Amino acid sequence: MDTNKNGSISRTEFSVAMKARLDRQSTLFDRAFSVADANGDGYISRDEAKVNPQLAEHFDEIDADHDGQLSKQELRATIRSAQLNELKSAR
């Protein structure tokens, strides 16, 4: 992360590193989503979620509007709050 090797992480270095991390996560997320979304309708149904034990286990928590389908938005929101919790507990 300390790209100019001056021993401290500048605000720019930090935001560049964060952006790279978010881009990478977003690519991974899209890939994971399309793998789970077997019929390609943009939603993960309960059946489709079975390929991923974590998804299947937390299906009801992630399905915020309880329509029986996980949208990208619902998954993203879940991942984001999981990451926030991780940050909080790291402190």
Binding site for Ca ion (CB under 5 A): 37, 39, 41, 43, 63, 65, 67, 69
Q: Residue 24 or residue 31: which is nearer to Ca ion going by CB?
A: 31
Residue 36, C-beta contacts closer than 8 angstroms, at least 6 positions apart: 44, 48, 49, 51, 52, 55
Q: How far is the CB of 42 from Ca ion (least distance, A)?
A: 7
Q: Which is nearer to Ca ion, 7 or 40 (CB)?
A: 40
Buried b (16+ CB within 10 A) or exposed e, 31-40: eebeebbeee
CB of 76 to Ca ion, least distance (A): 12
Taking the complex as a whole, the smallest distance from the CB of residue 11 to Ca ion amounts, in Å, to 37
